Amino acid sequence: MRYTHAQLSATGPVREVNEDYIGFWSPPDEEHAREVGATAILGDGVGGESRGELASRLAVTAALDVLENAKTPVSVSSLQRAMFDAASRAVYDTALSTPEQGSMATTMTVCVFRENSVHVAHVGDSRVYLVRKGTIKRLTVDHCYVGLPVKFRLMHEHSAMTDPRRSMLTRSVGHEPVARFESTRVELERGDVILQCSDGLYAFVVDDEIRDIASHFDPEQACRRLVALAERRHVDDNLSIQIVKIEELDVIAYFHGTPIYRPRAPHSVNSSELEPGQILDDRFEITELISRSGMASIFKARDLKTGATVAVKVPLIQFESDINTFNRFQREEEIGRQMDHPFILKMVPVDHQKSRPYLAMEFLEGRTLDKLMEEQHPVAEREAVTIASRICEALEHMHRRGIVHRDLKPQNIMICNDGSIRILDFGIAKASQLRRLTFVGFSPAMGTPDYMAPEQVNGRRGDLRTDIYSLGAILYEMLTGQVPFEGESPYVTMNMRTTGDPVALRSLNPKLTPVVEEIVLHALARNPDERFESAAAMKAELDDYEIVPLTGRHQRLQPPRPWKGRFRMLPLILAFVFLQLALFGLMFWYFSTHGSH
């Protein structure tokens, strides 16, 4: 296999000591690569125990020693057992030899890359994710008191992440001389990303965000961005991450179970990435690469049919045959062609048979709204209101055609150099005339955590009022420099919006007018029925402050109750207990009655 690897471990803004330890073993030659395999290891010293930083280092170092001294050939299962036994003994024996300093323990996660597969062995609550073709899948189960209830769908992930028992481990390395680990194997595909991380990262960055960043950036950039995102959210734990991206797979045939490696066939012209200088479908002359993410490339091109400059978005080769990627591109094009508005990205009609999936769009010069907000925080009220009014105009055009965006956020709004705006990315939009799209990612709620409506957090797909809420959240951030809800983790933040209201805008920015505060809070009402009935109604108030009735919404705001999610399963649990008691009583009566005969 050919892969790209990156790793990053940080103490974080709160802790004084980094109790995480990461290691990566790259085979010294081709024989070891095939018979042992490249291996990524992550340890996280257990909180509450002494010398967590020593425990994680001892465990990972002992496991690496096993790899370096492994006698080939060796099975993966034997290698995993040897690594965990060595790690457990190293931590246990060290603690035993210095009892006055207390016990030690650590989590440990091991990923062995061999024979076009990843073999995952795991103890504790660090995680391993597989990011593949725009989806994310967790390959490990958290060994903590809420891990199994989540696995068997007895507890929602959001509730588990805010439950204080989440930090109570049921398994660790070092408490005993032998560790009980779980293992799994996944066959890899070209372009797959395997991501290891400690709980400090995934507690503050949700799965969807991990998926997006790991998909759109190379491993080194993705590591930096994910750690930086967690740090911006005031993470109170250490942060560690390792990413392995699969660039090429081996060509393997098996004879009586023994792998036989064959040389790779050269790539054909049809299977290569598009490059500047090529002509796509005898129509689009590719002139410049604008950007290339982990999923797609965007090119500047000349339309030979019209002579216009256009942008062409093409999925990477490994995603072209993926049905989810194809459906998303097809859906975005179909929805785009239904709309004709100056503030919505225009699709260039392509009526001929395409040789590969791609989108042809108008070429724009400017910057996205999130970049503007990085430079101006807060944005001046008049400018922010003007931008929001134009977004309302575009939303009204969409909603009248039965289209709901569902992922409105600053990154999907372009501020063009000529002062106009464009709404971008309709990949998960809901259209009444198109078939329902099934997603297999983080949750059916979709959206981006900071801008999701309460109904999306609760798992509903939403309607036009969902877009109005997202716009309210964007306008709130423009005017105050802060998102409406900030919690100790994204899961807490999402739950906050279902149980309470944001802080009044003028308490964060006293320069704002009472009118704009009234408009934003109206859009951010928790109950969809209490929001603006349409984007047009919101635009009317943004354009004319005189018609806005001041109802004192800022005086009726209720603070969020972050722990509400913990009790949502209580009625179901009580019903289950009652049913068990009823069945027991019925059986007791039946056998008592028939036993008397």
- Express each pLDDT in 466-475 by its tens digit: 999 999 999 9
Q: What is the pLDDT of residue 372?
A: 94
DSSP-H helix ranges across 147-218: 147-151, 157-161, 199-202, 207-216
Domain boundary among 362, 397, 420: 362
CA distances from residue 594 to 172, 587, 589 in whole angstroms, order as listed: 51, 11, 9
The span from the CA of 43 to the CA of 22, in Å, is 6
Indicate if 584 and 572 belong to the same structural domain: yes
Indicate if 351 and 370 belong to the same structural domain: no
pLDDT band at 565 (very low <50, low <70, confident <90, very high): very low
Indicate if 575 and 478 belong to the same structural domain: no
Residue 3 parent element (H or E): strand 2-10
Q: What is the mean pLDDT of residues 338-367?
A: 91
Residue 19: strand, helix, or coil: coil
Which of the residue ranges 27-31, 185-189, 417-421, 457-461 would you say has the lowest mean pLDDT?
457-461
Q: What is the pLDDT of residue 575?
A: 66
Q: What is the pLDDT of residue 406?
A: 86
Instruction: Give yes or no for a contact between 286 and 275, defined as CB atoms under 8 angstroms apart.
Output: yes
Indicate if 258 and 285 belong to the same structural domain: no
Indicate if 341 and 213 belong to the same structural domain: no
- Tell me: the pLDDT tens digits for 81-128? 999 999 999 999 999 998 888 889 999 999 999 999 999 999 999 999
Indicate if 327 and 433 belong to the same structural domain: no
Which of the residue ranges 148-162, 242-256, 271-285, 564-578 would you say has the lowest mean pLDDT?
564-578
Structural domain includes residue 267: no
- Tell me: the pLDDT tens digits for 568-577? 445 555 666 6
Compare 386 and 326 and report the one with higher pLDDT: 386
Instruction: Give yes or no for a contact between 112 and 101, defined as CB atoms under 8 angstroms apart.
Output: no
The span from the CA of 129 to the CA of 241, in Å, is 11
Instruction: Read off the CATH number of the domain in which 484 is found.
Output: 1.10.510.10
Domain boundary among 230, 262, 294: 262
Tell me how crowded residue 64 is: count the other CB atoms within 10 A of its CB: 18
Instruction: Give yes or no for a contact between 342 and 329, defined as CB atoms under 8 angstroms apart.
Output: no
Indicate if 357 and 370 belong to the same structural domain: no
By the 10 Å C-beta count (0-12 exposed, 13-18 middle, 19+ buried), 200 is classed as: buried
Q: What is the pLDDT of residue 440?
A: 36
Whether residue 439 is predicted with pLDDT greater than 90 in this model: the reply is no
CA distances from residue 582 to 50, 193, 574, 591 in whole angstroms, order as listed: 48, 50, 12, 14
Domain limits for position 314: 274-362
Structural domain includes residue 269: no
In DSSP terms, 495 is beta-bridged to none
Arithmetic mean of pLDDT over the chain? 86
Structural domain includes residue 356: yes
Q: What is the pLDDT of residue 99?
A: 86
Percent of the chain topping pLDDT 90 = 56
Q: Where are the beta strands (DSSP E) in 278-371?
A: 279-280, 284-292, 296-303, 309-315, 359-362, 366-368
Whether residue 162 is predicted with pLDDT greater than 50 in this model: the reply is yes
Structural domain includes residue 547: yes
Indicate if 283 and 164 belong to the same structural domain: no
DSSP 3-state percent helix, strand, coil across the chain (nearest 5): 40, 20, 40
Q: What is the pLDDT of residue 153?
A: 62
Whether residue 597 is predicted with pLDDT greater than 70 in this model: the reply is no
Q: What is the pLDDT of residue 334?
A: 86
Whether residue 185 is predicted with pLDDT greater than 90 in this model: the reply is yes
Tell me the pairing of strands 403-404 and 182-187: unpaired
Domain boundary among 203, 234, 262: 262
Indicate if 581 and 545 belong to the same structural domain: no
Whether residue 191 is predicted with pLDDT greater than 70 in this model: the reply is yes
pLDDT band at 564 (very low <50, low <70, confident <90, very high): very low
Structural domain includes residue 268: no
- Tell me: the pLDDT tens digits for 219-237? 999 999 999 999 988 888 9
The structural domain count of the chain equals: 4
Q: What is the mean pLDDT of residues 432-448?
A: 45
Indicate if 297 and 440 belong to the same structural domain: no
Indicate if 294 and 394 belong to the same structural domain: no
Instruction: Read off the CATH number of the domain in which 191 is found.
Output: 3.60.40.10
Tell me how crowded residue 4 is: count the other CB atoms within 10 A of its CB: 13
Q: What is the mean pLDDT of residues 547-563?
A: 88
pTM for the full predicted model = 0.66
Structural domain includes residue 152: yes
pLDDT band at 145 (very low <50, low <70, confident <90, very high): confident
- Tell me: the pLDDT tens digits for 483-534? 999 877 777 788 889 899 999 999 999 999 999 999 999 999 999 999 999 9
Structural domain includes residue 414: yes
The span from the CA of 313 to the CA of 356, in Å, is 11
Indicate if 231 and 292 belong to the same structural domain: no
Q: What is the mean pLDDT of residues 401-427?
A: 90
Compare 22 and 439 and report the one with higher pLDDT: 22
Whether residue 435 is predicted with pLDDT greater than 70 in this model: the reply is no
Compare 518 and 249 and report the one with higher pLDDT: 518
Whether residue 280 is predicted with pLDDT greater than 80 in this model: the reply is yes
Q: Where are the beta strands (DSSP E) in 166-269?
A: 182-187, 193-197, 239-248, 251-255, 258-262
The span from the CA of 121 to the CA of 229, in Å, is 27
Q: What is the pLDDT of residue 150?
A: 65
Compare 280 and 592 and report the one with higher pLDDT: 280
- Residue corresponding to tokens 């983790």: 489
In DSSP terms, 302 is beta-bridged to 285, 309
Structural domain includes residue 120: yes
